[in-house]
Amino acid sequence: MALTVAGIIRMKAKGERIAMITCYDHASALICERAGLRFLLVGDSLGQVMLGHTSTIPVTLEDMIAHSAAVARGAPESLIVVDMPFLSYATPEQAVASAQRLMQDGGAHAVKLEGGEAVLPAVERLVSLGVPVMGHLGFTPQSANQIGIRVQAKTAEAGATLIRDARALEQAGAFAMVLELVPIELARAVSEAISIPTIGIGAGPGCDGQVQVWHDVLGLIDHPPFRHAGRYAEIGKAIESALAGYAADVASGAFPTDANGASIDASVIEEAKRLADVAR
């Protein structure tokens, strides 16, 4: 049975922990479903981990549509949430147009947008039209140039604003929200203050669920693990070793062998040579 928005909301009501992971392509989506991970975020973090940008800012709507469509083809039983890229939801009207493309062309089941009070009109408009919306509070990567890459809401006033924003997003109709890089005590307080699920990243264990970046979990990029990341494998090193072995075998002549190809009778080759000579 496919995972749904209603299913995610029920998980919080029943006290079940929620695992979410980013996913950017068809092969990864197939693996996620086989592993039982069916809450997938096609994040605009693809800007860094897939496209080589230094931030999410350059990511376009077309980028998100292409990657979302690939994930949707590989994960038919999953709930696929897709990030709305930078300034693609500056107005409610723009948000509707962007969500239409993401859902109709990209196969998204829900969209995620960053911010609190400023985005409430867009959230309300989308929800009123039947678009499931996930919020994102705390560190919001699309605002990194303004707020910096650091833990957010470390004062009482900032914490109060975050709690109010979380309640407002719930009231506007959001079905869940990401809490990123906020103090663990505040994340727990937000989770207790609202009835919709909170999905943490760098926000401690008090959230209703967790989201991690595919490349961080698997060790696909050669950098020390982030403090908030769960590293479960070093696949990048294994891939590097495998590719080096392949290149060495080609260089030495160890690969391929006759066993790696198809054969035909020697008489066919002789006849082919004769015909080629006649044609010359």
pLDDT tens-digit profile of 67-108?
Answer: 999 999 999 999 999 999 999 999 999 999 999 999 999 999
Q: What is the CATH number of the domain that holds 199?
A: 3.20.20.60
69 and 108 part of one domain: yes
Residues 222 and 247 in one domain: no
| 63 annotated to bind ligand | no
144 in the same domain as 10: yes
Instruction: Give 210-222 pLDDT, tens digit per residue.
Output: 999 999 999 998 7
| 213 and 78 within one domain | yes
The one catalytic residue among 180, 185, 240, 270:
180
Rounded to whole angstroms, how far apart are CA atoms 139 and 134?
15
DSSP for residue 142: G
Structural domain ending residue among the three candidates 195, 213, 233? 233
Same domain, 249 and 137: no
Q: What is the pLDDT of residue 149?
A: 87
Instruction: Tell me whether residue 192 is annotated as binding.
Output: no
What confidence score (pLDDT) does residue 221 get?
Answer: 86
The dihedral of CA 119, 189, 17, 7: what is its sign?
negative
* Selection from 127-131, 146-150, 270-274 with the highest mean pLDDT: 127-131
Known catalytic residue at 93:
no
Residue 212 is predicted with a pLDDT of 97
Query: Once rounded to an integer, what is the mean pLDDT over residues 169-188?
Result: 98
Determine whether the annotation assigns residue 45 to a binding site: yes
Mean pLDDT (whole number) for 166-189: 98
Q: Are residues 10 and 112 in the same domain?
A: yes
Mean pLDDT over 119-137 rounds to 98
Same domain, yes or no, for 172 and 107?
Answer: yes
pLDDT at 280 over 90: no
Q: How many domains are there within the chain? A: 2
208: annotated binding-site residue?
no
Pair (171, 228) in one structural domain: yes
Domain that holds residue 271: 238-279
DSSP secondary structure letters along 192-209: HH-SS-EEEESS-TTSSE
